[in-house]
Structure 1
């Protein structure tokens, strides 16, 4: 198998791909990039033309977009049972939850921009922060409802899958801006996800556990 190289910013969306590579037990190299204008360099834009992580080098080419990379890896290594094939009953739910992670991440990304990138507090919008945090809460409600459904196994599908990887990573990022609180099924699920040996514990973007809405 050809060399796999993940271009990664810690505590960003690329953490999902890192986690999946570790769950698949694939040999890979991780190249860490700073979360700055370096991602707009010609070198990096040759890997991902919009200057965002992740980018994954495999088979002599670069792949980008987190959901697409996860689908490709799951299809390439089906024996790990982290994806669901086109003929499987859980295929639709797998795709829904895999791509739902991006919905949650987009709200978390907007809040990250407000709290971290706008370093002058006067530039931050309490209205935007409140709206985006409330939208994160709606996402958390959807996850809680799914996990608390009748006959649940404690995972988004019948067994642990890459859908759990994608949504859990998004939730771990988003809970810095909206507390999980009394959503008991989600609390337990996140604890199980973070306890997995392949889960990548990282420091990077965030300098605190929770960011309050600015006054």
Structure 2
């Protein structure tokens, strides 16, 4: 039994955490949870009272929130080289948490057809959807990776978000996104993680 456990569902942001775990290359156990079932059971609520996935437990310590999981694993396993170098820290933290905060809020509201009026835009951290998307695009167009010339944990989170949003048509693909996604999705760890999650999804479907 590994000292690291991933709680996930293959139809969730747990795919991001799985990719990050494959990048760090450490052994881990997996608990696949079902929506409305084991995800809301008392046992898992003891791990994450929100009843959401993903979550990881490492040496008895719980980490939830996908961006936090990516940042934590990069720091916990520095030999993987996914944490930022000093000159990369500003963009690393800036864009990872921009994607986790303003972009996530903008996409959620856009999907629910919630459009802030001019006054509400001054209160919303993302302003409006179009503004948040323009800034996100600029982040991936500036350098090969969001923190500069090297792949980091920030790319796992930001890249997964862009991949998810473009595949579901929430944001439109363009040259900047296509080039960025081609770079990060060619990584062996990304491919392994996808294969594992696709297999888990097929197993869940067969069991149902």
When normalised by structure 1's length, the TM-score is 0.73
Q: Higher helix fraction: Structure 1 or Structure 2?
A: 2
Q: How many residues align?
A: 183
Of 169, 179, 192 in structure 2, the residue corresponding to residue 177 of structure 1 is 169
- Distance in 2, matches of 1:168 and 1:33, equals 24
- Distance in 1, matches of 2:177 and 2:19, equals 19
- Distance in 1, matches of 2:110 and 2:31, equals 26
Gaps of at least 5 residues in structure 1 are: 115-126, 205-215
Aligned to 1:16, the other structure's residue is in SS state: helix
Shift of 1:70: 1.9
Deviations 1:80-120 (A, max 9, x none): 221126xx1221211111212213334445567x5xxxxxx
Gaps of at least 5 residues in structure 2 are: 118-126, 202-208
| Alignment correspondent of 1:146 | 139
RMSD (Å), alpha carbons:
2.8
When normalised by structure 2's length, the TM-score is 0.75
Deviations 1:168-194 (A, max 9, x none): 11122222132433x312111112222
Alignment of 1:75 with 2:61, yes or no, is no
Shift of 1:129: 8.4
Tell whether the 8 Å contact from 1:2 to 1:59 is kept in structure 2 after alignment: no
More moved, 154-163 vs 170-179: 170-179
| Alignment correspondent of 1:123 | none
Aligned to 1:89, the other structure's residue is in SS state: helix
| Match runs of 1:62-211 below 5 Å | 62-84=62-84, 88-103=86-101, 104-109=103-108, 127-128=113-114, 137-149=130-142, 152=143, 154-158=144-148, 159-175=150-166, 176-181=168-173, 183-199=174-190, 200-201=193-194, 202-203=197-198
- In 2 relative to 1, CA 108–29 (structure 1 residues): closer, same or farther, beyond 3 Å? farther
- Distance in 2, matches of 1:18 and 1:191, equals 19
- In 2 relative to 1, CA 100–12 (structure 1 residues): closer, same or farther, beyond 3 Å? farther
| Alignment correspondent of 1:117 | none
Shift of 1:164: 0.7
| Match runs of 1:43-54 below 5 Å | 43-54=43-54
